[in-house]
Structure 1
Amino acid sequence: MPSAPSGNSGSLRPPADDTLAAPLMAPGLWRRMACWLYEGMLLFAVVFIAGWLFSTLGQMRSGMDSRRHLLQAFLFVVFGVYFVWFWAHGQTLAMKTWGIRVVDRHGRALTQGRALLRYLLSWVWFLPPLAAISPFGLGAGESVVLVLGWVAVWALLARFQPERQFWHDVWAGTRLVVSKPLSRR
């Protein structure tokens, strides 16, 4: 197998394996949403550990502590590190399980900068409904319906994108493709 060129060209050539030999095909919507749901379950462990660490080191006694906004900012950064690191390496654990990989629009591995941009733009999944909840003082049940409704609408909007990609991926210059789990090299 030929190896990637060494030198200062600055461009990354896709690996010479069969994962990119086929056209860059987007996974089906159900597959991507199953991966999204599985990712959420895995993030529960990340939140648990990060929250425990923050509250232990910060000696928080209650979730209503005045430092809860600091905790939210800390979790935002922890999620960012988690996703940027995994996306720059091609796949999160959930993506490996569901046979999905994130690449740039040309099929190359993401840079950390592009992965960070994708992370920031991916908050479109949650920011619009969260912004609507606060000023209207919606209850828990109404908030859940609003968030889940927006997630469904946002996911279905991918049907109107010519390559069936999510819009935040289009804006970030990334795409989800069908892939076998990447091996460690």
Structure 2
Amino acid sequence: MLYEGLLLFGVVMITGYLYSSLTQQRHALVGTAGLQAFMFVVIGIYFTWFWAQGRQTLAMKTWQLRVMTRDGQPLSQARAFARYVASWLWFLPGLAAAGLSGRHDGGAIALALALNVAVYALIARLTPTRQTLHDLLCGTRLERWRSSAPGQNPAT
């Protein structure tokens, strides 16, 4: 997740620059809802396209993981998008809890997010197949996968 976030940093920077250029936004606190919606869509396109086309994002290639349906088939665009939306369960309950508690300082939000991620990961560890909730909901799974480069033995 951290490596994926590092790669997404570049996507987010370019997206923010593009949004501010297109909307002539000159102040960071003006138009934040539009920027957030634009970011959500662009990040969704990033994940949906990679998952549906090659089953892997760039970070997943590094960690030799790929996503597929329960029966091993590639994801459709619709299923990949559903997985993207459902994957926000990693963060949204924690953000909602922080917002509903009335605490808006960075420490409270970070604590709520950390607790949410820990509980979400624990749920995955407790399921028999060790799948995350969004994979269970969307009928997808992650698999270790090692691509064999031309001329290499896949067993090495």
What TM-score do you get using the length of structure 2 for normalisation? 0.90
The amino acid that maps onto 2:10 is: A
Higher helix share: 2
Which residue in 1 is equivalent to 2:26?
Answer: 61
Question: Could you say which residue in structure 1 is the equivalent of 2:106?
Answer: 140
CA distance in 2, matches of 1:109, 1:143: 36
- In structure 1, the partner of 2:36 is 72
User: Does residue 107 of structure 1 match 2:72?
Assistant: yes
The answer to whether the 8 Å contact 1:97/1:181 transfers is no
Q: Which runs of 5+ in 2 are unaligned?
A: 150-156
Alignment match, 1:175: 141
Q: Among the aligned pairs, what percent are the same residue?
A: 50
Give the TM-score normalised by the residue count of structure 1.
Answer: 0.76
Structure 1 unaligned spans of 5+: 1-35
Task: Tell me which of the two structures has the higher relative contact order, counting C-alpha pairs closer than 8 angstroms and 6 or more residues apart.
Answer: 1
> Does the 8 Å CA contact 1:96/1:182 hold for their aligned counterparts?
no
SS in 2 for 1:41: helix
Q: Secondary structure at the residue paired with 1:176?
A: strand
Distance verdict in 2 for CA 1:182–1:117, change over 3 Å: farther
Summarize the Cα distance change of 1:150–1:182 in structure 2 as closer, same or farther, 3 Å threshold. Answer: farther
Q: Quote the offset at 1:182 in angstroms.
A: 7.8
Structure 1 residues 7-49: Cα deviation after superposition (integer angstroms, max 9, x where no partner): xxxxxxxxxxxxxxxxxxxxxxxxxxxxx11101111111000
Matches within 5 A, 1:1-185: 36-65=1-30, 67-89=31-53, 90-135=55-100, 136-181=102-147
